[in-house]
């Protein structure tokens, strides 16, 4: 008989502070809810106040701790000021993003800038602001970046999105190396198609939905609940030795 059994590291986040970008709905709101349900005090960020205030109120009503803060993550000066003027967060969920599906032959410079500026540039400087504050505060925190299966494979009409999400995967690995001496971890979550207010209109196209379901080997579109466990794992002590990695939550899409 062993003298003592190992004890699973805690998935709880009591007394920790978390911040989620793009938190008004969909994946961002689910991430905020997951963190709050595990005991974290969560700050929900978005450009407009309405949805994040409603999300924070819903978290409060469920017994959690949350606040809403308006922030345009594409404004790098405002992002730096936000993180400079608050105590360091323990957890960042870098979730704000966009997509403009179209053939690469149709992409304009304005399309390119819209997707790459938000999905790469804004994500970079949000991570930088959060990491700088963690370093100043001596916080061994966790950066979680919402990537995509399209950061691991290609897809038709997804040249801009793939470019941005492959870039995020590379940035994440470099972040992990730069921040490891400070005890700060950096990882991505790479979901398949998740039904959200942003993606729901696409699934009204029967041919598109059929093509997606043919690639998801588990046979269904993802839900935001499918990602909540991954967020919690990467935020918590349960993933203490994990950095520079990607959790692919894709129903088998990239296995083929």
β partners of residue 94 = 145
Cβ(151)–Cβ(168) under 8 Å? yes
Annotated catalytic residue, options 82, 89, 124, 161: 161
User: Residue 2 domain-assigned?
Assistant: no
User: Residue 80 domain-assigned?
Assistant: yes
User: Residue 145 domain-assigned?
Assistant: yes
* Phi-psi group of 244: left, alpha or beta (phi > 0 → left; psi -120 to 50 → alpha; rest → beta): left
Question: Roughly how many angstroms between the first and final C-alpha of the chain, as a whole number?
Answer: 43
C-alpha angle 142-31-189 in degrees, rounded to nearest 5: 60
Instruction: Name the maximum alpha-carbon separation found in the chain.
Output: 67
Task: Please report how many Cα atoms fall inside a 13 Å half-sphere around the Cα of residue 141, on the Cβ side.
Answer: 29
Task: Please report how many Cα atoms fall inside a 13 Å half-sphere around the Cα of residue 35, on the Cβ side.
Answer: 33
List alpha helices for 109-158, DSSP H. 109-116, 123-137
User: Residue 6 domain-assigned?
Assistant: no
**Could you tell me the CATH number of the domain that includes residue 24?**
3.40.50.720
161 is catalytic: yes
CA separation, residue 74 to residues 61, 86, 126, 196 (Å) = 31, 19, 9, 22
pTM of the model: 0.97
| pLDDT for 172 | 98
User: Residue 5 domain-assigned?
Assistant: no
How far is the C-alpha of 59 from the C-alpha of 88, rounded, in Å? 21
Report the b/e string of 150-165 with b at 16+ CB within 10 A: bbbbeeebbbbbbbbb
Domain span at residue 98?
17-208+217-255
What is the pLDDT tens value at each position of the chain, 256 positions in all? Answer: 778 999 999 999 999 999 999 999 999 999 999 999 999 999 999 999 999 999 999 999 999 999 999 999 999 999 999 999 999 999 999 999 999 999 999 999 999 999 999 999 999 999 999 999 999 999 999 999 999 999 999 999 999 999 999 999 999 999 999 999 999 999 999 999 999 887 888 899 999 999 999 999 999 999 999 999 999 999 999 999 999 999 999 999 999 9
Which residues lie closer than 8 Å to 205 by C-beta, 6 or more apart? Answer: none
Q: What is the DSSP string of 155-195?
A: -TTBHHHHHHHHHHHHHHHHHHHHHGGGT-EEEEEEE--B-
Q: In total, how many domains does the chain have? A: 1
| pLDDT for 30 | 98
User: Residue 4 domain-assigned?
Assistant: no
User: Residue 172 domain-assigned?
Assistant: yes
User: Residue 153 domain-assigned?
Assistant: yes
């Amino acid at each position: 008989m062993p003298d003592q059994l190992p004890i699973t590291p805690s998935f709880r986040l009591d007394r920790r502070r978390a911040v989620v970008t793009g938190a008004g709905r969909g994946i961002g709101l689910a991430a905020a809810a997951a963190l709050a349900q595990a005991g974290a005090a969560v700050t929900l960020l978005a450009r407009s106040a309405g949805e994040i205030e409603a999300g924070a109120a819903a978290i409060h009503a469920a017994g959690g701790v949350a606040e809403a803060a308006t922030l345009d993550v594409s404004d790098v000066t405002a992002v730096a000021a936000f993180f400079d003027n608050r105590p360091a967060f323990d957890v960042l969920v870098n979730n704000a993003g966009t997509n403009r599906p179209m053939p690469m032959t149709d992409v304009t410079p304005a399309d390119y800038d819209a997707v790459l500026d938000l999905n790469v540039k804004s994500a970079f400087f949000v991570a930088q602001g959060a990491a700088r504050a963690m370093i100043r505060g001596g916080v061994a925190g966790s950066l979680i970046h919402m990537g995509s299966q399209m950061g691991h494979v290609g897809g038709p009409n997804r040249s801009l999105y793939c470019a941005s999400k492959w870039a995020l995967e590379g940035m994440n690995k470099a972040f992990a190396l730069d921040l490891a001496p400070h005890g700060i971890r950096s990882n991505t979550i790479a979901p398949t198609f998740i039904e959200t207010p942003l993606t729901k209109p696409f699934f009204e196209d029967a041919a598109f939905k059929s093509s997606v379901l043919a690639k998801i080997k588990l046979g269904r579109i993802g839900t935001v609940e499918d990602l909540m466990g991954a967020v919690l794992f990467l935020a918590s002590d349960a993933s203490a030795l994990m950095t520079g990695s990607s959790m692919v939550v894709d129903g088998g899409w990239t296995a083929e």
